[in-house]
Structure 1
Amino acid sequence: MILPDFSQAKILIVGDLMLDRYWSGGTGRISPEAPVPVVNIRESEDRPGGAANVAINVATLGASVRLMGLCGRDENAEILKSRLASFDIDCDFFAIEGQDTITKLRVMSRNQQLLRLDFEKSFADDDKSALYSAFETAVQEADLVVLSDYNKGCLSDPQVLIQLARQHGKPILVDPKGSSFDKYRQATLITPNMAELAGVMGEAGDEQTLIAQAEACRDALELPALLLTRSEQGMTLFESGKEAFHLPAKAKEVYDVTGAGDTVVSTLAVCMATGVALSDACVLANLAASVVVGKLGTSTVSTTELAVALGHQSTHLDGGVMTEEQLALALEQAHKRGEKVVMTNGCFDILHAGHVSYLDAAGALGDRLIVAVNTDESVSRLKGPGRPVNSVQRRMAVLAGLSSVDWVVPFSEDTPQRLIARLLPDVLVKGGDYRVEDIAGGREVLANGGEVKVLHFEEGVSTTGIIERIVQNQHKEA
């Protein structure tokens, strides 16, 4: 996949404008007036928030941006415009008399948020005729429309904007809010998170119910597509007439999730505006989210960072860490495509050269390689106190980064027999001096017409041996 030229995209964004203000300083004493810390403010910073942050994300990717929204006739609106002007964002702000620009003040100390003060009143009942009129003119020059709804009133009636955009043949991407999505009917794509979808459709007890709910929501709203963002479980795309397309989370380390949703929306917008297929746009949005959550204190991704992230991916961009339910669905789709699936398992506590060569050999036996990994509790039962050295999340993240590995899934039992019997790969592989008939899950795979193979690990390399040498060296140094 090659990144398109995002500079050709023209994005029109309408939504709730906010100013995020940060006051930071040290704390060294408790107030004598009340049991609260006293913060000696040393720094003040203003950042565009809400729809304005989406606009900055789009601009950072190189696209042209026009931003529309409602604000107060006040100093904070001017500050917001000034910050956005530095990103060459064209602002159409409609000041409402008697209203204040929505501002969120956060009091910070030692990188911790002590207090947040919200200065806001809903714009839902205010006259929006001037905004609608300007939108009707601006939409004709745009390639795509983004509606960034934070439930602050600017998008109290998004149907006006959706139908105007549809009249001019422009796709509409919506970041939704609220207890009902009916107001977004006939948009092109909406991007709810898990909590937002549950608020509309109810809690889903399992993966199949979740898929059914998402597809029912999409059908009821006459949407061509719905993208469900799922935090540490990645995201799933539901397109009309197609099977659900799941993308596991790509982040190896998560430092700050602030703004990740805006990054997803902005990346989708510029991709769709430049003609990228929706499934490919979701791949890039997923990568962009993995970049932004790996950084502290920033919520934008550049095209250079996105290109680097894309270059580091393995052949299968839908690979990564999955839940058992997600993997079962992915495996079903792989078999429909005629792909040969290989599966192996292990603790993989400290990944070493023997593991890597073994996994390379296993991956070469088919088109897809699944690695099932013992949970921490399972490793402790098998290996004893002090193991594992690395948590299951870290072990799975490292495995998912190998080019030979497509899918990684945890299991909590002492053996993966139940998991293998459910998934039934085409080839089951085990490393070591096992007999085929003694391999967990082998009987079920053979009965299903599959193969069971034994591969030998590289001689002289083992996790236990590495740990013993580390301990011996520590004793020598002591």
Structure 2
Amino acid sequence: MDLSYFNRLASSKILVVGDVMLDRYWHGDTGRISPEAPVPVVKVSGLEDKAGGAANVAKNIAHLDGKVSLLGIIGDDDNGQSLEALLKSENIDSRLIRQQEAPTIAKMRVISRHQQVVRLDLEERFSEAHSTLLLNQLKAIVSEFDLVVFSDYNKGSLHLISEMIAVAKNAGKTVLVDPKSKQLADYRGADFITPNLTEFKAAGGVIGDEEIITQSARTIVAECGLGAMLLTRSEQGMSLITPNEKHDFAAQVHEVSDVTGAGDTVIATLAVMLSTGMPASQAVEIANIAAGLVVAKLGAATVSPEELSAKLTQYLRDTGEQYQAPAEEVLHHIELARQRGETIVFTNGCFDILHAGHVRYLAQAKARGDKLVVGLNNDESISRLKGATRPVNPLDERATVISALASVDWVIPFGLEAENDTPAKLIERVKPDVLVKGGDYKVSEIAGADFVLASGGKVEVLEFVNGCSTSNVIKKIQSDG
């Protein structure tokens, strides 16, 4: 797999159009039955709002560092305001259209002991007039984007989807559709359509052996004027079917908890990868990995950038490859992890020649929290600190080796200027909950310790393994030579 595509994620310009929703969750414990009716009493202890429907697709794209805008319809109400605030916090450019005739679609769930007690739906189907508003706005902004995703939840926003696809195609855009209509001809002109097996059968698809499924899908693709079908097949994985080719992808091995949200994750990941220029078969391969992660969660879950990055790192490590995210993207992902309440641990070093002492030390550092960030001295910084003969290994190679460790979540280089040979400025940007340093330092001697302590964090000093050091490794190599 050519990893150069991953360096283009942030240049993606994607528009998501469709049925947007607010998913609201009330969490609490259940200890008794109501005296008023035979129903459980849930004592609410927490409220959580999430972007749902097409907004969830946009959220997945934003988490993959794609530049994403969202076009949809909301009501002139509090739920609409809450949804717009969520989009802003997720780095999603909101192009939502407010109207007063129908409310913002909202799905409200009461959750107790990881079980859904009841769901309340607040919605009215949007009219063709509402869809016309979307169509007109799409015409005005479509030129700004490389790729358009239509997320159809059959709520009426995409009543005029045939016209919308024509607008996008006439503008030269790649079009992806997550369908709900049984009439797949409604999506004529789309480059990719992503039905699941239930939607495939509802649209006239025939289920049988592989040859029957493939021929049936190709018939639909041809008759409905589609470019390709990505058929998601639950435990059987996915199949990318074109008029001339078929690529099968085995399901990732995970304990399935809930398939809710998996379709959003698949089309979002596919869109981001295609927008980098990645070939379709490789883009589907990555989307399949993302789907394997999301089905392991409960509820309308999404895959976090950290989880997908970790899984991709493992996947690419198995193939002997590695991807390094740019520092600014890493800082964004760290902030997302912090918002989810995860503990951020930071340590730093040169890590010129990785040895057993480093591996044990980094594992101990990771044990102090949920995510481990490693600040890595760049080559110039090491030369200033260690002498002209160092580093032995250049920055890219050192970062690749460190990132491949299971204990390490992110690597960020530092030391562009002589005054920044300490990680103090980087620590102020990362804002770790725990700062870890190896050696015989006093806390007062550790760069960045004052900032972390003043911010309410902790500073810990870990002992290195005796006899393990890069200098000793180099001396042994020289003496043996």
Cα offsets for 1:395-433 (capped at 9, x unmatched): xxxxxxxxxxxxxxxxxxxxxxxxxxxxxxxxxxxxxxx
Judge which range, 74-83 or 205-214, deviates more: 205-214
1-structure distance, mates of 2:259, 2:207: 24
| Greater Cα offset, 138-147 or 128-137 | 128-137
Which residue of structure 2 aligns with residue 293 of structure 1? Answer: 295
Per the alignment, residue 246 of structure 1 pairs with 248
Q: Give the structure 2 partner of residue 94 of structure 1.
A: 97
Q: What is the CA distance between 1:27 and its match in structure 2? A: 1.2
Aligned counterpart for 2:158 among listed residues 150, 155, 159: 155
Instruction: Write out the 4+ residue segments of structure 1 that deviate beyond 4 Å after TM superposition.
Output: 312-315
Counterpart-to-counterpart distance in 1, 2:45 and 2:206: 45
Question: What SS does the corresponding residue of 1:128 show, helix, strand or coil?
Answer: helix
Aligned equivalents of 2:132 and 2:298: distance in 1?
40
- What is the Cα deviation at residue 255 of structure 1? 3.4
1:305 aligns with 2:307: no
SS of alignment partner, residue 236 of structure 1: strand
Q: Deviations over 1:211-236 (max 9, x none)?
A: 22111111111112110001111000
Distance 2:318 2:263 in 1: 21
Residue 182 of structure 1: how far off its partner (Å)? 1.4
For 1:210, the equivalent position in structure 2 comes to: 213
User: Under a length normalisation based on structure 1, what TM-score does the superposition of the two structures give?
Assistant: 0.63
CA 136–309 in structure 1, closer or farther in 2 if over 3 Å, else same: farther
The answer on whether the counterparts of 2:127 and 2:156 sit within 8 Å (CA) in structure 1 is yes
Q: Kindly tell me: are residues 306 and 267 of structure 1, through their superposed partners in 2, closer, same or farther at Cα, counting changes over 3 Å?
A: farther
**Could you tell me which residue of structure 2 aligns to residue 234 of structure 1?**
237
Once the two structures are superposed, the pairs formed by residues 39-78 of structure 1 within 5 Å of their partners are: 39-78=42-81
1:183 to 183, 186, 194: 186
Q: Specify whether residues 309 and 215 from structure 1 end up closer, same or farther in structure 2 by C-alpha distance, changes over 3 A only.
A: farther
- 2:268 is aligned, of 266, 269, 281, to 266
CA deviation profile, 1:277-320 (whole Å, cap 9, x unmatched): 101111111111122233456412426235314325559xxxxx
Residue equivalent to 2:132: 129
- Alignment partners' CA distance in 2, 1:52 and 1:26: 29
- Matched residue SS, 2:128: coil
Matched letter for residue 315 of structure 2: L
Select the residue among 164, 169, 176 that pairs with 1:166: 169
Worse-matched range after superposition: 125-134 or 22-31: 125-134
| Number of positions where the alignment pairs a residue of Structure 1 with one of Structure 2 | 315
Give 1:204 deviation, angstroms.
1.7
Q: Which residue in 2 is equivalent to 1:140? A: 143
Amino acid at match of 1:293: V
Unaligned runs of 5+ in 1: 316-478
1:151 & 1:8 partners in 2: Cα distance?
31
Match of 2:257 among 240, 255, 258: 255
SS at match of 1:282: helix
Match of 1:347 in 2: none
CA distance, structure 2, for counterparts of residue 309 and residue 253 of structure 1: 18
The whole-number CA distance in structure 2 between the counterparts of 1:290 and 1:65 is 23
Matches within 5 A, 1:14-33: 14-33=17-36
TM-score normalized by structure 2? 0.63
Distance in 1 separating the partners of 2:204 and 2:212: 10
Shift of 1:207: 2.8
Post-superposition offset of 1:126: 3.2
CA deviation string 1:100-159 (max 9, x = no partner): 100001111101001111111111333333322221122101010000000001011211
Q: Distance in 1 between matches of 2:160 and 2:211?
A: 33
Q: Secondary structure at the match of 1:222?
A: coil
What is the identity percentage for the equivalent residue pairs of Structure 1 and Structure 2?
Answer: 45
Q: Distance in 1 between matches of 2:102 and 2:161?
A: 21
1:106 to 93, 106, 109: 109
Root-mean-square deviation over aligned CA pairs: 1.9
| Partner secondary structure for residue 255 of structure 1 | coil
Query: How far apart, CA to CA, are the structure 1 residues paired with 2:210 and 2:153?
Result: 28
Where does structure 2 lack aligned partners over 5 or more consecutive residues?
A: 321-481
CA–CA distance in 2 between the matches of 1:73 and 1:92? Answer: 14
